[in-house]
Amino acid sequence: MGFPLSAQLLDSLVLSVVERSDTYGYELTKNIRDCAPVSESTLYPVLRRLMKNGLLESYDKEYMGRNRRYYHITENGKVALRGLRRDWEEHKQSVEMILNNRGESHYGQI
Amino acid sequence: MDRSEYLVALRQYLFQNGMSTEDIEEAMSFYGDFIMDSTPEEYQRLGSPSELGSKILAENGTFTGNPGSFQMEAAFVGGQNRQDQYYNNAADDQARRNKMLLLIILVVTIPVWGGVAFGLVAAAFGIIVGLGAAVLGLGAAGIALLIEGIRDLFTVPPVGLALTGAGFLMFGLCGVIFVPLIRLVIRFVKWAASTVSSALNNLLSGVRA
C-alpha cells in the first residue's frame, strides 16, 4: 500500500485481525503485511499498547514443545473497534468525496 | 547464528542496556515467538540482535544514543493522544468506579435524603400553587367588584365609579402578576427537570460506559 499507516489505522487493522480469531505474533504480522509494509518492531509496541489499554489480552498455548503467545480481543476491544470502523467509514467517505468526486460536497458537484 | 543463539544475544543486549526484567520477558515472548515461527530469511530481516535490541529499547522509552530511533516513537505518541477517546485507560476506570460508588451510596441512602428531597419538592409545589391561587383570587375579586360597581353606577354613581375603578385595578394587577409568574414557574420547572435528568444521565452513562 502506497499510503503510510497512521497509528490509529494500524490499531484498527490489528484489532480486526485478532477479532476474526485469536492469533499469534507471526501470523498477525503476516496478515497485516498483506496490506502494509510494517515491520515486526512496529507491531510489538502496537500490541503492547492495545494490551495496556485493555483492548487485547494474551495467553500462552503449547505449540511443538514451547509456549506460543496468542492474542485475544476483549469486550472493550470490540467496542473500540466499532468506534474505529465508524471513524474509518467517515474518513473514507470524506477522502472519496474529493479524490473520486463522489458523494455530496457542501458546494454541490463540481 | 541460529535462532537460539540470536535470542540469547538479544536478551543479553536488552539486559546490558538496563531494560527491566519484566519488559525483557515481554519483549522476548513476542520476538522469541516470531523468530521461532519465521523462516530464516524472515528473521534475518530483523537485523542483528543489537540492531533489533536498540529498536526495542527505543520503543520502550530507553535511550541508546541513537536519536533517529526516537522519531518513530514520537509519531506513535502523537497518534496515541487522538485515540484516547476509545480507550478506557486507568483514569477513566477510576472515574467510572467513583461514579458507580456514588450511585450505590445514593441508592442506599434513599431513606435519609429521600424524605428531605420529597419535602423540598412538595414545598416548592405548595408555594407555587399558593401564589397562583392568591393572584387568581385577586383577579376574581376584581371581576366581582367590576360587576358590583357597574350595577352601582346606575344607583349611586360615585360609589359605582370607585368600585369599578378598584375592580379594574385588581383585575389589571392580577394580569400583570399572573403572566410573568406562570412564565417563571415554567422556566423553573424546565430548569429543575433538565438539571436532574442531566445529573442522572451523567451518573448512569458513566457507570454503563
Within this chain, do residues B121 and B160 fall inside the same structural domain, yes or no? Answer: yes
Q: What is the pLDDT of residue A65?
A: 85
Query: What is the per-residue pLDDT for B58?
Result: 84
Domain boundary among B62, B87, B112: B87
Q: Are B178 and B135 in contact (CB under 8 A)?
A: yes
Statement: residue B192 has pLDDT above 80: yes
Q: Do A8 and B76 touch (CB under 8 A)?
A: no
| Interchain CB contact of B68 with A (< 8 Å) | no
Q: What is the mean pLDDT of chain B?
A: 81
pLDDT of residue B78: 42
Strands ordered across the beta sheet of A56-63: A23-24, A66-73, A56-63
- Which residues of B fall within a CB distance of 8 Å from A24? 33, 37
Same domain, B77 and B116: no
In a domain, A92, yes or no: yes
User: DSSP secondary structure string, chain A?
Assistant: --SPPPHHHHHHHHHHHHHHS-EEHHHHHHHHHTTS---HHHHHHHHHHHHHTTSEEEEEEEETTEEEEEEEE-HHHHHHHHHHHHHHHHHHHHHHHHHS--S--TT---
Q: Has residue A54 been placed in a domain?
A: yes
> Of B87, B119, B139, which residue constitutes the final position of a domain?
B87
The pLDDT value recorded for residue A77 is 94
Q: Is pLDDT larger for residue A37 or for residue B155?
A: B155
Whether residues B114 and B188 fall in one domain: yes
Distance, in Å, from the CA atom of A80 to the CA atom of B209, rounded to the nearest integer, reads 12
Residue B119: the pLDDT is: 92
Report pLDDT for B111. 85
The cell for B110 is 434513599
pLDDT score of B76: 47
Nearest residue, CB atoms, B33 vs list A6, A24, A79: A24
Give CA–CA dist B17/B56, Å, rounded: 11
Q: CA nearest B136: which of B92, B88, B105, B173?
A: B173
Q: Are B36 and B29 in contact (CB under 8 A)?
A: no
Predicted-assembly ipTM surpassing the 0.85 threshold: no
- The answer to whether residue A74 neighbours chain B at the CB level (below 8 Å) is no
Residue range of the domain that includes A95 = 7-99
Beta-bridge mates of residue A24: A70
Which residue from A minimizes the CA distance to B89? A53
Residues above pLDDT 70, as percent of chain B: 82
Give the pLDDT of residue B80: 45
Identify which of A47, A66, A80 has the shortest CB distance to residue B87: A80
In a domain, A19, yes or no: yes
Residues forming beta bridges with residue A62, ordered by sequence position: A67
Facing B86 at nearest CB: one of A26, A39, A84: A84
CATH of the domain at A65: 1.10.10.10
Q: Please, which residues 102-141 of chain B have a Cβ atom closer than 8 Å to chain A? A: none
Average pLDDT over residues B132-144: 91
- In tens, the pLDDT along B15-56 reads 998 888 888 988 888 888 888 888 888 878 888 899 889 888
Q: Who contacts A70 (Cβ-Cβ below 8 Å, separation ≥6)?
A: A22, A23, A24, A58, A59, A60, A61
- pLDDT tens per residue across span B4-18: 888 999 999 999 988
Is the separation of the CB atoms in A77 and A15 below 8 Å? yes
Cell of B171: 383585575
Query: How many domains does chain B fold into?
Result: 2
Q: Hey, are the CB atoms on B80 and A26 less than 8 Å from each other? A: no
Residues A41, B37: C-beta atoms closer than 8 Å: no
A108: in domain: no
B204 shares a domain with B127: yes
Is B104 in the same domain as B70?
no
B56 and B103 part of one domain? no
pLDDT of residue B75: 44
Q: Mean pLDDT for each 10-residue chunk of chain A (110 residues)?
A: 78 94 92 83 88 93 89 95 94 89 58
Residues B81, B155 within the same domain: no
User: In terms of residue numbers, what domain contains B188?
Assistant: 96-208
Residues 8-27 on A with a CB inside 8 Å of B are 8, 11, 24-27
User: pLDDT (tens digit, 9 = 90+) per residue, B47-104?
Assistant: 889 988 988 888 776 554 444 444 444 444 444 444 444 555 556 677 778 888 888 8
The reported pLDDT for the residue numbered A54 is: 94
How many domains, chain A?
1
Residue to mutate among B37, B44, B72, B77, with most A CBs inside 10 A, is B37
Evaluate whether residue A104 is within a structural domain. no
Give contacts of B52 with chain A, Cβ < 8 Å. Answer: 41
